[in-house]
């Protein structure tokens, strides 16, 4: 066994042990629990080298070592093995996300968030992206009563909103269809920035016999597009952090809870990126999050990034399990959103 490979195997054993138990790891523990074919003394020397190289740290002179952020980074990039998911876990993810709410992206994503939190035993965060360019995909008007019309707005980001308009008297279905066609021909594909006075004026001319419908629809339309363009941050499983004994320390727990409750911090930590993003400890650009790890990925609708879903926890999270869960869940979200897109 070459020296470099030996160091890597020892580092892998230290990290696996520390992730599982949370206790600093000594050379004797490694010698007893991991069949590396080398003596405790050799392991001790290699651990001293690993500490000098910055991959592990010693909390007290008499204690064992724990991984540093640099050690975790090497582990995630080179040493970690991402496990296969059990058939039961795969079925659970498919069933929960598929059954969550057809055609309602918000509900699909919230169900996914709950699932990630449950399966990883960590705090899951979802940040829906501010598109700033959401546009109208379709508008439908449906008679639901003699003096009520249901307006269904669908944006290209998959948001579906319903609004009820009160009318003075019943409107024939053929007339409602004509109004619907006018609205779609004038508004389809336009963003909030493009619905200017000229567009509004043209629609008003087209619908001059139906001022009351026009007056109700336009404010609703603006509200829908503004909502589609707003960034939301949701979280689930905040109390899961107390599964980690180190967070029984009231000060550490307060630090974590204040990060989770700070919208500005979460906004900065959960940024969209391709594939899986893993930020460990000091790699986070926010001072308050220097002791935490964030694992996240982007979910998409119609090829367009819609938001980020991920977890936040201590640096000793089970990276391989977390990464696998998030990959599978994001795949399922994307599959379902694509089905929605293809069925429309």
Contact 91, 52 (CB under 8 A): no
For 103-114, how does the pLDDT look when each residue is reduced to its tens digit (9 = 90+)? 567 778 888 999
Helix (H, G, I), strand (E, B) or coil at 160: strand
The verdict on 258 and 114 lying in the same domain is yes
* Closest C-alpha among 221, 216, 230 to residue 195: 221
Least confident of 98-112, 136-150, 170-184, 239-253: 98-112
The verdict on 235 and 280 lying in the same domain is yes
Range of the domain at 219: 136-228
Tell me the whole-structure pTM to 2 decimals. Answer: 0.72
The verdict on 124 and 181 lying in the same domain is no
Residue 303: its pLDDT value, please?
Answer: 75
SS (H, E, C) 212-230: HHHHHHHHHHHHHHHHHCC
Contact 297, 309 (CB under 8 A): yes
The verdict on 335 and 240 lying in the same domain is yes
Residue 100 confidence (pLDDT) above 60: no
Residue 228: its pLDDT value, please?
Answer: 58
For the chain, how many structural domains are there in total? Answer: 3
Contact 119, 309 (CB under 8 A): no
Contact 47, 14 (CB under 8 A): yes
The verdict on 248 and 312 lying in the same domain is yes
Residue 130 confidence (pLDDT) above 60: no
Question: CA–CA separation, 294 vs 125, rounded Å?
Answer: 10
For 152-172, how does the pLDDT look when each residue is reduced to its tens digit (9 = 90+)? 878 776 667 777 888 777 788
For 2-53, how does the pLDDT look when each residue is reduced to its tens digit (9 = 90+)? 458 899 999 999 999 999 999 999 999 999 998 888 888 999 999 999 999 9
The verdict on 207 and 154 lying in the same domain is yes
Q: How many CB atoms lie within 10 A of CB 286?
A: 17
Q: What integer is the mean pLDDT of 208-220?
A: 77
Q: What is the CATH number of the domain that holds 253?
A: 3.30.450.40
């Amino acid at each position: 066994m070459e020296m470099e490979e030996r160091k890597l195997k020892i580092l892998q054993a230290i990290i696996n042990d520390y992730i599982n138990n949370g206790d600093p790891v000594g050379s004797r523990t490694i010698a007893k629990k991991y069949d590396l074919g080398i003596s405790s003394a050799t392991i001790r020397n290699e651990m001293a080298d690993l500490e000098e190289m910055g991959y592990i740290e010693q909390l007290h002179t008499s204690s064992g070592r724990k991984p540093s952020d640099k050690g975790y980074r090497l582990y995630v990039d080179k040493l970690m093995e991402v496990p296969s998911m059990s058939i039961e876990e795969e079925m659970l993810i498919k069933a929960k996300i598929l059954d969550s709410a057809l055609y309602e992206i918000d509900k699909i994503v919230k169900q996914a968030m709950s699932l990630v939190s449950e399966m990883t035993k960590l705090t899951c965060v979802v940040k829906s992206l501010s598109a700033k360019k959401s546009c109208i995909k379709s508008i439908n008007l449906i008679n639901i009563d003699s003096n009520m019309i249901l307006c269904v707005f669908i944006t290209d980001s998959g948001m579906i909103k319903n609004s009820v308009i009160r009318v003075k008297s019943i409107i024939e279905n053929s007339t409602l269809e004509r109004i619907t066609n006018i609205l779609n021909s004038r508004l389809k594909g336009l963003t909030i920035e493009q619905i200017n006075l000229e567009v509004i004026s043209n629609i008003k001319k087209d619908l001059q016999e139906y001022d009351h419908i026009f007056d109700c629809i336009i404010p609703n339309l603006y509200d829908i597009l503004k909502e589609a363009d707003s960034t939301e941050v949701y979280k689930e499983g905040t109390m899961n952090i107390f599964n980690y004994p180190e967070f029984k320390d009231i000060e550490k727990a307060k630090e974590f809870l204040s990060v989770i409750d700070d919208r500005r911090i979460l906004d900065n930590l959960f940024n969209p990126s391709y594939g899986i993003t893993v930020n460990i400890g000091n790699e986070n650009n926010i001072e308050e999050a220097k002791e935490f790890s964030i694992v996240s990925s982007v979910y998409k609708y119609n090829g367009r990034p819609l938001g980020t879903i991920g977890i936040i926890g201590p640096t000793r999270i089970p990276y391989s399990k977390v990464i696998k869960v998030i990959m599978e869940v994001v795949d399922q979200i994307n599959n379902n959103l694509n089905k929605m897109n293809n069925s429309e």
